[in-house]
Structure 1
Amino acid sequence: MTLEVSHVVGGYSQIPVLKDISFDVKDGELVGLIGLNGAGKSTTINHIIGLLTPFSGTISINGITIAENDQLYKQQIAYIPETPVLYPELTLREHIELTIMAYRLNQEEAWQKANELLKTFRLDNKLDWFPSNFSKGMRQKVMIVCAFITNANLFIIDEPFMGLDPLAKSDLLAEMDKKKRAGASILMTTHVLETAQQYCDRFVLLHDGQVRVEGTLKELHEAFPDSGESLNDIYLSLTKKAGQTE
């Protein structure tokens, strides 16, 4: 098992946004973290990557918590944020070199992976470009390339399809599938529920800082038998019922 979130209560200052949430992401599995704006998805991610410390509960990757070994914990994670974060003074080439150094990767092997990914995402002729030259979609592709050259055990991908054209979206899904088949775990947030339904192995549905339900699409159907067939139908049914009880 790669990621285990156990009874986590957390948030900002002393205000609990997450209310005793628990879920896991196993090896070779793509899990969709689904929820409306404000449901707690970003707060959950910020706790997993170490930007926030839980008030209580534990988060571990392959049995290691950030408190036990900060460096080893973080080296197991590759994170693609919703909004690309690039250094304006570094070229694409230098971003890749920085990633290689940060993750202590083998230079030759990492650049071989990088060159393949650069061709896939049509960035191979832009190695000496600076972020100011890139569109939002191209910046997103830079983040994708830097994440996928690593040997991370856990990939956290936040709203990955924002700004990507249909071809880049297809390429990203193919790369995610390769990582899955190699045994990596992926936690993905997205509002594109049709795509999530097609590609995710399991789902964690967040509402108001709580895990309302988790499982495969079949298990979600069993939990909400009166909802429609799609993930979108199930989530709408969940949020409406939750709103009626609050």
Structure 2
Amino acid sequence: MIYLNYIIHDYTINLKDVETMILELKNVTGGYSKTPVIHNIDFNISEGEIVGLIGLNGAGKSTTIKHILGLLSPQSGSIEVLGKKITNINEQARAHMTYIPESPILYEELTLREHIHMTAMAYGLDENTVMERADGLLKRFRLEKELDKFPTHFSKGMKQKVMLICAFVVQPELYIIDEPFLGLDPIGIESLIDLMVKERNNNRSILMSTHILSTAERYCDRYIIIHDGRKIADGTIEDLRAQTGLENGTLDDVYLKLTGGDTHVS
């Protein structure tokens, strides 16, 4: 009996060490036509990670994201979310993630409250539960008094906050956020960062495309760098420093070294 208990206890510990894979891209090649924009993109995101997706304009970040969302189909390779293959018709796979685009996309004829209700309906969530979740988010982003107003009365920053609220009330396993800090004021940026860290601590995962490398360096666990449609680096800041030989280099430093001195990151 003592031996059996030891074996069971040891096995339980090993199970806790096993990482849950949230997102897997396996040699994805694709684009908008027969000519590929991205080539053999291969990376994964585990449970409870904030991963920065970094590259120039035209490097292939947006194309990669559109493939993950199922808006584009790979010419070769595959994409899985929690083991479910992403396609443009696989709603079961897409239900595990939310997407926040760089530019807010809202319905002018719907109030903020109705946007939240629509999000609940789209994900099959209980409306009352979603409104309870929204309460803290509305206060965090200072929109609790704007629930029954229409987007025409909102600034760009306020619209971006509406997008954030609608994404975070879902509490999915994976958030995909494209340039999350654009349009936000300093308080909004700090509120978003706090929220992302909180979600990571709750074992949810975030893929964040950003050009603000100093902020990414403070909060991302890992970085994927895409250049000319190909992945050229994937790792922690320590991994990237080792790859470039820049022992004390910042994320800006290692990015410039890896890309040969290109400076216009986005």
d(CA) in 2 for partners of 1:17, 1:228: 33
Instruction: State the 1:151 CA deviation.
Output: 2.6
The residue type paired with residue 64 of structure 1 is K
Within-5 A mapping of 1:17-32: 17-32=37-52
Structure 1 regions of 5+ residues with no counterpart?
Answer: none
Structure 2 regions of 5+ residues with no counterpart?
Answer: 1-20
Residue number in structure 1 paired with 2:204: 184
Q: SS of the residue aligned with 2:225?
A: strand
1:40-76 CA distances to partner (integer Å, 9 max, x unpaired)? 1000000000110000000000100124971111111
Check the 8 A contact 2:53/2:223 in 1, yes or no.
Answer: yes
Check the 8 A contact 2:23/2:80 in 1, yes or no.
Answer: yes
Within-5 A mapping of 1:228-239: 229-239=249-259
Aligned residue among 155, 169, 174 for 1:149:
169
Check the 8 A contact 2:53/2:207 in 1, yes or no.
Answer: yes
The residue type paired with residue 26 of structure 1 is S
TM-score by length of 1: 0.95
Residue number in structure 1 paired with 2:112: 92
Residue number in structure 1 paired with 2:218: 198
1:115-155 CA distances to partner (integer Å, 9 max, x unpaired)? 11001100000011111111110000000000000031110
Instruction: State the 1:107 CA deviation.
Output: 2.0
1:154-197 CA distances to partner (integer Å, 9 max, x unpaired)? 10000000010010000001111111111111000100000000
d(CA) in 1 for partners of 2:73, 2:125: 28
The residue type paired with residue 160 of structure 1 is P
d(CA) in 2 for partners of 1:167, 1:208: 35
Within-5 A mapping of 1:1-246: 1-67=21-87, 70-226=90-246, 229-240=249-260
Instruction: State the aligned residue count.
Output: 243
d(CA) in 2 for partners of 1:209, 1:66: 20
The residue type paired with residue 127 of structure 1 is L
User: Where has structure 1 moved over 6 Å in runs of 4 or more?
Assistant: none
Query: Aligned pair in 2 of structure 1 residues 54, 187: CA closer, same or farther (>3 Å)?
Result: same
Check the 8 A contact 1:50/1:66 in 2, yes or no.
Answer: yes
- Percent identity reads 50
| Bigger Cα Rg | 2
Aligned-pair Cα RMSD in Å: 1.6
1:61-120 CA distances to partner (integer Å, 9 max, x unpaired)? 010012497111111111000000101111101100000000111222211110110011
d(CA) in 2 for partners of 1:226, 1:68: 42
d(CA) in 1 for partners of 2:138, 2:68: 28
Query: Aligned pair in 2 of structure 1 residues 97, 56: CA closer, same or farther (>3 Å)?
Result: same
